[in-house]
Amino acid sequence: MSNNKLLLIGDHFISAELMRSKIDHLSSGYTIHEASTPFPLEPFRNIAEVREASGSEEQMIDALQGASICIAHHAPLTQHVLSHTPDLRLFIVCRGGPVNVNLNAATASGVIVGYTPGRNATATAEYSIAMLLAAIRSIPQTDAALRKGQWKGDYTWETAGFELESSTVGLVGYGAVGRLVAQALRAFGAKVLVYDPFVTSTDTEQVEQVSLLELLSRSDVVSLHARDTQGTRGMIGEKEIALMKKGSVLVNCARGSLLDYNALADALRSNHLFAAAADVFPEEPLSPVSELLSFPNFVATPHVAGGTRQAAEKAAGIAAEELERYLSGKPLRFCANPR
């Protein structure tokens, strides 16, 4: 007989209380239990075979005992956890992708995995624009100088930034985030180039769709918005950066795996790039002795682009909608393992 325990695993960003507020009207017949992981007060990390997770396998096994449904954020669902939680049937991750879930093991165990795409698209798009402007106009550097009592108002032709209105910006990836970034850039008056092999020409009426090589060679700014897949990992390396204009800017608020950061450091050291900005890195947290942090024209933030209150609300809301579909016998809209 099916178990009626419904587990909510929140954290300090998307709390179990927020999740409960979205699903209370759906919980008839279920006993709701709550748990929490330390994210983001403690950064997420790799746990066993899954990535970007928080908490522990032992905590998961204990909390999931008897639960048939679980809604979580960064909690790890590993093969080890699945082998000790036979009652579990539905696991919804309040994230754009379930990287903290072993999908193969979940499928083999008969566990449906849902997720919440687009929940932080607006937050990440707005942050990408902010990082782009911060890099072009040296905003963090001049702010830091003022706090040290230095008046850095001595910009020259060589050190001055440039305007988006007369610039060409290339977007690598044109999904939910890329489209919102393009919309904002067009409002600034920028010309927008797009590289995304999964997008048809009818999707890009107000942008120009080009090859990656053409995008890199024509853009004054290149901003990354692709997903982390086998085909995109390391897609921007030494050769690709060399194709970019001298004095151009590179921004990555997508995934650290997309970019070769050693090649980025070389390009900053040689002044091939005017500036760069990144919110994501291959290994997080970024080491405080990373060479990248020695470059005054490099803007770095600790993977916070998607962190808004609205993003948390949207994630919990989408998760509730998916739960309602499951309980009414309908297939999930966002299922990571539909087979």
Would you say 39 and 74 are in contact if contact means Cβ atoms under 8 Å apart? yes
Q: Three-state DSSP class for 160?
A: coil
Cis peptide before 285 (omega within 30 of 0): yes
Active site residues: 255, 284, 303
Phi, psi (degrees; rounded to nearest 5) at 250: -120, 130
Q: Is the dihedral of CA 226, 163, 268, 154 positive or negative?
A: negative
Cis peptide before 331 (omega within 30 of 0): no
Residue type, 83: S
Report which secondary-structure segment, H or E, holds 135. Answer: helix 121-137
Residue 245's alpha-carbon distances to 95, 220, 296, in angstroms, are: 35, 7, 20
The terminus-to-terminus CA distance of the chain in angstroms comes to: 24
d(Cα 332, Cα 38) in Å, to the nearest integer? Answer: 28
Would you say 120 and 280 are in contact if contact means Cβ atoms under 8 Å apart? no
Would you say 68 and 2 are in contact if contact means Cβ atoms under 8 Å apart? yes
Residue 224 pairs in a beta bridge with 172, 252
